[in-house]
């Protein structure tokens, strides 16, 4: 695709951390950021920070600034990002919509995507129908793609807006994850034709993350394993862009004492909260390194002290549950 012709030539590995400014950075976020940073610094590569603020209803500018401050406090730096610039500026997704629109226009002309005017009622009816196992509800069967032009126009007039769906090919997609090994998924059977732009014209995460990683020359994607099931869809989009597929590493998440994935509800585990209690960044880093198998037990260390200790093989394959004892060790 001609859009990729303008991307910078990279001679070193490129990794990134791409937080969403929808809440405060907590221990789980910080752990993923630390591991992604350690991997790329060990490879002597380029580390990018990108702000994924696609959804205006959920993104808060103050959180974006807080994330930058928290990462700096932790000792994580980046070579390119919103505050330092770089050859792929801007590093804020809400400022990159023109790029996503170019891709949509090209794929629409190539008939890789199609508009969908299915209402919530239509999709709810699908959910009630018998279907096989699917993590995100039943696969979308291409209802709008099968309509005649006249039937489509009538359906669109009732709703007044349309999303865009990517036409998923049939067949099994297989790739190798750096943590989970061989991963297989039949996207057509599991998800169906999937949304890449919502009806309210907000670009879907699946499209934006692929376009940005492709344009920025990202070679290594280390992120939480909650995105493992999204990866086959993203690989299809890389292929449609005719872009190189990065190496993926999906690491298990950090859970709170209640056994639930860390989130805004666990405010006491936010870096802002830890800082306010006088806990040092080195203590936090050492704790996170121990949860990732890089240290036998927590000890205060800066991220740079862990670069040579990093190894994908050391990472646990199960989620780490923060216990009350762990919180006490951190001084909480």
Considering its fold, how many domains does the chain have in total? 2
Pair of tokens at residue 150 = 């006249």
DSSP 117: -
Same domain (yes/no): 179, 139: yes
| Whether 113 and 86 share a structural domain | no
In a domain, 220, yes or no: no
Does residue 150 share a domain with residue 79? no
DSSP string, 77-99: --SBBTTTB-TT---BGGG-HHH
What CATH number is associated with residue 279? 3.40.50.620
Catalytic residue among 201, 264, 277, 314: 264
Alpha-carbon distance 29 to 268, whole Å? 14
**Is residue 227 one of the residues assigned to a domain?**
no
| pLDDT for residue 265 | 61
Q: Quote the pLDDT of residue 260.
A: 84
Asked if residue 35 is part of any domain, the answer here is yes
Binding-site entries: 16-20, 52, 116, 118, 140, 144, 205, 223, 264
Same domain flag for 106 and 194: yes
Whether 275 is covered by a domain: the verdict is yes
Whether residue 17 sits in one domain with residue 89:
yes
Q: 102 and 199, same structural domain?
A: yes
- Is 264 designated active site? yes
Assess whether the previous peptide bond of 169 is cis (omega < 30° from 0).
no
Chain centroid offset of residue 222 CA: 9
Same domain, 82 and 22: yes
Summarize the annotated binding site for L-glutamate as residue ranges.
16-20, 52, 205, 223
Q: Look at strands 254-255 and 320-321 and give their pairing.
A: parallel
Give the closest residue to 223 by CA, choosing from 243, 248, 255, 206: 248
* Residues annotated in a binding site for ATP: 264
**Are 96 and 212 a contacting pair, CB within 8 Å?**
yes
Say whether both 79 and 147 belong to one domain: no
Per residue in 35-88, pLDDT (tens digit) is 999 999 999 999 999 999 998 889 999 999 999 999 999 999 999 999 999 999
Whether 135 and 167 share a structural domain: yes
Residue 157: what pLDDT?
85
Domain boundary among 206, 223, 244: 206
Q: Is 100 within 8 Å of 207 (Cβ atoms)?
A: yes
Report the CATH number that the domain containing residue 149 is assigned in CATH: 3.90.800.10
89 and 108 share one domain: no
Domain boundary (206, 239, 266) is at: 206
In a domain, 235, yes or no: no
Query: What is the model's pLDDT at position 131?
Result: 46
Q: Which domain holds residue 190?
A: 98-206
Q: Which residues are annotated as a binding site for Zn(2+)?
A: 116, 118, 140, 144
The answer as to whether 42 is a domain residue is yes
Single residue among 175, 206, 237 that ends a domain in this structure:
206
The pairing of strands 220-224 and 247-251 is parallel
Which residues make Cβ contacts (< 8 Å) with residue 2, sequence separation at least 6?
none
46 plus 115 within the same structural domain? no
3-state secondary structure of 76: coil
* 213 occurs within a structural domain: no
Q: What pTM did the predictor assign?
A: 0.93
Q: Does some domain include residue 217?
A: no
Please, which contacts does 288-297 make with residues 24 or more away whose CB atoms are closer than 8 Å?
288/27, 288/30, 288/31, 288/34, 289/34, 291/31, 291/254, 291/316, 291/320, 292/31, 292/34, 292/35, 292/251, 292/316, 292/320, 294/38
What is the percent of the chain where pLDDT is above 90? Answer: 73
154 and 76 in a single domain? The answer is: no
- C-alpha distances (whole Å) from 56 to each of 22, 53, 226 are 10, 7, 22
Does the CA dihedral 140-141-145-148 come out positive or negative? negative
Instruction: Quickly tell me which residue has 């891709």 as its tokens.
Output: 103
Low-confidence ranges of the chain (pLDDT < 50): 131-134
């Amino acid at each position: 695709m001609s859009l990729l012709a303008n991307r910078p030539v990279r001679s070193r590995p490129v990794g990134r951390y791409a937080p969403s400014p929808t809440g405060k950075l907590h221990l789980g976020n910080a752990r993923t950021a630390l591991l992604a940073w350690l991997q790329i610094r060990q490879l002597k590569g380029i580390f990018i920070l990108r702000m994924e603020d696609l959804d205006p209803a959920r993104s808060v500018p103050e959180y974006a600034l807080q994330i930058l401050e928290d990462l700096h406090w932790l000792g994580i730096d980046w070579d390119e990002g919103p505050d330092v610039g770089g050859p792929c500026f801007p590093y804020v997704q809400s400022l990159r919509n023109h790029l996503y629109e170019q891709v949509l226009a090209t794929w629409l002309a190539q008939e890789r995507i199609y508009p969908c005017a299915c209402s919530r009622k239509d999709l709810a009816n699908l959910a009630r129908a018998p279907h096989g196992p699917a993590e995100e509800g039943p696969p979308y069967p291409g209802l709008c793609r099968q309509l005649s032009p006249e039937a489509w126009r009538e359906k669109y007039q009732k709703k007044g807006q349309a999303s865009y769906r990517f036409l998923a090919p049939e067949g099994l997609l297989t790739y190798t994850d750096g943590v989970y090994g061989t991963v297989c998924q039949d996207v057509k059977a599991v998800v169906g034709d999937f949304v890449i732009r919502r009806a309210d014209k907000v670009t879907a995460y699946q499209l934006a993350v692929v376009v940005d990683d492709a344009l920025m020359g990202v070679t290594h994607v280390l992120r939480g394993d909650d995105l493992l099931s999204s990866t086959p869809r993203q690989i299809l989009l890389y292929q449609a862009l005719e872009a190189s597929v990065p190496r993926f590493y999906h690491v298990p998440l950090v859970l709170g004492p209640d056994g639930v994935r860390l989130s805004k509800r666990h405010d006491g585990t936010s870096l802002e909260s830890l800082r306010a209690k006088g806990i040092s960044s080195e203590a936090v880093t050492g704790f996170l390194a121990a949860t990732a198998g890089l240290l036998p037990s927590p000890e205060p260390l800066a991220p740079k002290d862990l670069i040579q200790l990093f190894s994908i093989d050391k990472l646990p394959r199960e989620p780490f549950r923060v216990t009350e004892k762990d919180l006490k060790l951190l001084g909480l």
